[in-house]
A and B are shown apart, each in its own frame.
Chain A
Amino acid sequence: MVAEMAAEAQSSRRLKVWAVILGLAILAIAGVYYVRRLESRSQTALSMPERKQSPPDDPDSMRLSTVSVSNSVRSGILGANFDLVYGFAEIPAACKVAFESSFVNSSSSGSGVRRTKIQMADPGERFNWSDNVISGLALRRLIFAGLGPKTCFVYYERGGTMYPSACLAVMDYAQGKSIWVGESRKKAANLRDLRSMISNQKFQDTLGPVC
């Protein structure tokens, strides 16, 4: 009887010991978890938030920069006879390649990378004339183009801007690139008006990549 009671007491003590050990273990685990969480929170709270993430390129990063020439060169730049065309597809490859290869990617990620295709709406077609842009519509619209014996020009509206803008790019076949690019807020209706605007210095050619 005494032996049984002693055994029972011993068993009870063992249970209590195990219960205490288990309790301590749970407390230890909880403590470690709590400390780690505090550390984690402290670290993240001290670190500066990642406030800068690389934004995408400008939706119209391919730009034609204005190219300046002397007054004497400019005054006679459209002096030759030009055959006019009113569709971008009608511009011969030699002229179109010289025009398109003058565009450069002015975005941070693709600086200087040249592109071969420029989306250009034809006269009368819808295009993105303002800063409220619709994907798929061109940001430029042809007014007319002229094909001369040694040079050609592309005269077009520049959309995606906050104001009406028209650009004139004159290309030299031999050089295969634009030799003069000017921008104006006024739009010429025909070649005579265009020549008049040039002689009256209505074009600015030191504005940078605005075309």
Chain B
Amino acid sequence: MREKTKPAGASYYRARYYDPASGRFVSEDPIAFNGGANFYRYTRNSPLNLVDPSGQVIQVVGDITTWITATLYLNGSSSAASIINELQNAPDVYTINISDTYFPDRTVDGKTVYWNPHKALCVQKGVQSPALQLLHELEHLVQDRSHQKGDLEGAAVRATNPAAVQLGEPTRLNYHDVRGNVVWPLPIPSSSGGGGGGCGGRNGC
């Protein structure tokens, strides 16, 4: 791998730098020729985008920039990172479908997630980012992988609350702690500390 100096505004994503402004990696994929001719692609572009380099086990369908933005953010929490790492190191293939039309977010059969990257969740203590909602669904994949039974929703909330604390977001009291949803421009909180929309209004939170 020919490592480059980190450009301004770029983030280090696993083995490469990612520039959110251009939506491109600015250093080459370490798997080089095995990843195809274009080393700057996020592994193979089509039909599936795969997480490299370890497992090629997470397929992202939709706007991959939102996935990268969210996972970069979530990796700032050791608790969230452990959930993501468990999936990346799993032998199973998981699919993350991303669309603004999905509502609510869902996990189907423990293998496929439908995630809306711009829907934040209003809970009693505030607003949780769409990235944290993604983590909730990823935890369902982990549950399926480890054949967990019982109150899976309660367990998913308890598993993601430590990440909420580490990321400075409000925790969710329980699965039914839902006051509504608001649209955020990004899947993560903005630098000003909010997501661009509070909870309020009859149809909101």
Contact = CB atoms under 8 A, between A and B. Distances in A.
B99 to A, nearest CB: 4
Interface stretch (B2-10, B42-50, B81-89): B42-50
A57 to B, nearest CB: 8
Could you say which interface size class chain A belongs to? 35 or more
Contacts of A206: 202-203
A131 B202 contact: no
A163 interface: yes
B23 A131 contact: no
A44 B203 CA distance: 46
B169 interface: no
Contacts of B105: 131
B195 to A, nearest CB: 18
B88 to A, nearest CB: 20
A80 B152 CA distance: 42
A66 to B, nearest CB: 10
Contact of A50 (B45, B156, B175): B45
Interface stretch (B59-67, B72-80, B160-168, B185-193): B59-67
Main secondary structure of the interface of A (DSSP, over half): loop
Contacts of B24: 48-49
A192 interface: no
Contact of A55 (B62, B137, B143): B62
B101 A58 contact: yes
B21 to A, nearest CB: 12
Given A55-B97, A59-B114, A207-B203, A131 B61 contact: no
A26 to B, nearest CB: 23
Interface of A: 40-41, 44-45, 47-61, 106-108, 130-135, 160-164, 204, 206-208
12 contacts: A41-B37, A44-B37, A48-B23, A53-B46, A55-B61, A55-B62, A58-B102, A106-B101, A131-B136, A132-B140, A132-B143, A161-B104
Interface of B: 22-24, 37-42, 45-47, 49, 61-65, 97-99, 101-110, 114, 121, 136-137, 140, 143, 152-153, 156, 175-176, 178, 202-203
